Structure 1
Amino acid sequence: MDSYDKEAGAHPRRATEPEGSAPVTPPGEQRPEQGHGPRSAREAGPASAPASPGTSAGPDYADRASAAGGPVPRTPEAPGPPAGSPRPDGAGGIAALSLPYQVVAAVSLAVVGMFACVHLAMAFLHVAPSNTLTKQHGEAVDDWVFPEFEQNWKLFAPNPLQQNIAVHVRAEVTGSDGGRRTTGWIDLSGDDGEAIRGNLLPSHVNQNELRRGWDFYVNSHTNDNRPNGLRGRLSESYVRRIAMLRLEEHQLGGRIERIQMRSATQGVKAPVWSDEKTDTRPYYRVLPWWTVTEADLPGGVDGGRTEADQ
């Protein structure tokens, strides 16, 4: 080998070189035996193709590198999933949460499920025929159901309600000058409708108080307005008290001596696509005049009087 080859190592050997000699070094690279390059490269032996990412190097290469004193190649570890990502085993829902959150979720679901079961049982007992449970625990069932969860069959059996019923009241008022006058009919149901319409959270007073009170009165009286026992007389006191509470809001400007109530029943007009003929004229049920007593006044004896009357 001439000095040019020894120093530069830039030209390949000639084709006449015998087999078994040192491998040909491509241009631009240095042969390990000439002392160029790092020591580890000279001691590691012939170069091998680098392992591709995610795969391990072959056992022969690792053994040769260890025997030569070089570093043993290590397979890079894949990064773990970020926090909050789904588990690699495909688990989802509550199983994907940590243990404290699993306990909280399980307890919450148990409470919601228990509440739903109790509510369904109470609603069933409320609409079911009289039985041993309702006889023993009827008061508890009514306390749970009324007034928010009231159930009845009027929507289904056999002829649903097709009427609008409004309750009106008028009063005889004694003014500050001693004169007595009768007011016009005041639509109490219309007042409730105005309070409910457009209200996202309407009061149960506006939704149910007057309607339920009037149903109570009608169901406990005959057609000629005679009470059926104690419940009938109790319903009279109830609707009179409601009427006085509502009239107080209208500020009639005097002392209310007597009141009279009536209902206006009007059929709901049939839809345009129906051939049904519906009578939409209002029909009235007028009650007799009631003299206002101390029990009917919202604030006691002076509750229905103005400052001028006192």
Structure 2
Amino acid sequence: MDSYDDRGVGGRGGRVAGPDPGEVPAVPDPGAEADPRADPESSRIPSQSPSPSPVPGTGTGGADPRGDAGSESRSGMAGLSFPYQVAAAVALAVIGLVTCTQLAMVFLHVAPSNTLTKQHGKGVDEWVYPEFEQNWKLFAPNPLQQNVAVHVRAEIAGPDGRRTTPWMNLSGEDGKAIRGNPLPSHVQQNELRRGWDFYLGSHDSQNRANGLRGSLSEQYIRRIVMLRLGEHDYGGTVERIQVRSEVRSVAAPPWSDEKISTKPSYRVLPWWNVTAADLPEGSADPKETDQ
């Protein structure tokens, strides 16, 4: 009969008895790697590497490993559907064409006279006026070297008969209103000046209108003049008006040896009969103004 010692290990049989009730078996650490030297059997078990966890955004199975990166890179027009791409391309082409046409028309408008402006000047003017009018006289190539003033006189019908007023300097009145005013109005600065430029550009040297713009400029000047005359009391009714311009060359600076004559030259327009259409709104009296 085999005998056993106190630890339960047989002398000759080599059998291993159960654990001692008084001992607590050690619990293996699941995170620790097994030492192949401690357990020979483990060296014969093939190692199984854990399956890699999916990367966020890459999907599963046979999905594109780039995931959503491809869709994110398709931004702008490339991210639109084909019909929207066509519409966007057409819109960009139209905007580019209009922009190039605008630049070309403005360039021809301000450029010196050339073959294109001589042949297509009317079309250029129709495109530019009135919204895109340009004027580079202040800078180049021929800056203004003259002072231009607009004068007016009127024929008044009053109780003592007809009389003619002295010449009134309308440009001088605008100058007084602007001088010392930090915020002058656009009317004080440009209304009369641009109106007179409009008249000169639409009439020849004999004051004959060269088209519909000439008639329109005459009406514009008459209305401006009657608006200014309405600010004064002449003791009668304005029946006729006459306008003239006074042009004086700008004197040379003191340090210059240039000799420039500052003698004024005048351009006198014919007398105009005043009608109800020439009066400011609300002040027309057909009985006194219709001639």
What range describes the TM-score normalised by the shorter chain of this pair?
Answer: 0.5 to 0.7
Matched-pair contact (CA < 8 Å) for 1:195–1:206 = yes
Which residue does the alignment assign to 1:238? Answer: 220
Q: Are the structure 2 counterparts of residues 169 and 230 from structure 1 closer, same or farther at C-alpha, using a change threshold of 3 Å?
A: same
| In 2, Cα distance between equivalents of 1:174 and 1:216 | 30
Change (3 A) 1:297 1:304: farther
Q: How far is the alpha carbon of 1:302 from its aligned partner?
A: 2.3
Aligned to 2:107: 128
Partner of 1:297: 279
Q: Distance in 2 between matches of 1:302 and 1:187?
A: 26
Contact 1:248/1:304, CA 8 A, preserved across alignment: no
The share of aligned pairs that are identical, in percent, is 64
Secondary structure at the aligned position of 2:257 is classed as: coil
Aligned partner of 2:203 among 198, 205, 221: 221
Deviations 1:181-238 (A, max 9, x none): 1000000000100111111111111111100000011111111111101111111111
5+ long unaligned stretches in structure 2: 1-99, 110-115, 117-122
Task: Look up the match of 2:154.
Answer: 171
- Other-structure match for 1:192: 174
Letter in 1 for 2:166: G
1:150-185 residue CA offsets vs partner (Å, 9 max, x unmatched): 74210233221100000000000011x151110000
Describe how 1:1-310 pairs up with structure 2 within 5 A: 127-129=106-108, 138=127, 143=131, 151-175=134-158, 177=159, 179-298=161-280, 299-302=282-285
Query: Are the structure 2 counterparts of residues 179 and 163 from structure 1 closer, same or farther at C-alpha, using a change threshold of 3 Å?
Result: same
Match of 2:54 in 1: none
* Structure 2 Cα separation of the partners of residues 155 and 300 of structure 1: 38
Q: Which residue of 1 aligns with 2:57?
A: none
Structure 1 contact 297–304 (Cα < 8 Å) conserved? no
Compute the RMSD of aligned alpha carbons: 3.3
Superposition deviation, residue 304 in structure 1 = 10
CA distance in 1, matches of 2:104, 2:181: 32
Deviation of the 1:297 alpha carbon: 1.2
Structure 1 residue runs of 4 or more that deviate by more than 6 Å after TM superposition: 123-126, 303-306
Q: What 5-or-longer segments of structure 1 have no aligned partner?
A: 1-120
CA 1:232–1:304 in structure 2 vs 1: closer, same or farther (change >3 Å)? Answer: farther
Q: Which amino acid aligns with 1:219?
A: G
Q: 1:259 to 1:224 in 2, by over 3 A?
A: same
Q: Which residue of 2 aligns with 1:85?
A: none
Deviations, residues 115-158 of structure 1 (Å, cap 9, x unaligned) = xxxxxx9x968843369xx97x957x955x6xxxx742102332
Give 1:254 deviation, angstroms: 1.1
CA distance in structure 2 between the partners assigned to 1:304 and 1:248 by the alignment: 17
Equivalent AA in structure 1 for residue 185 of structure 2: S
User: 2 CA distance for matches of 1:209 and 1:265?
Assistant: 18
Conservation of the 8 A alpha-carbon contact between 1:126 and 1:142 = no
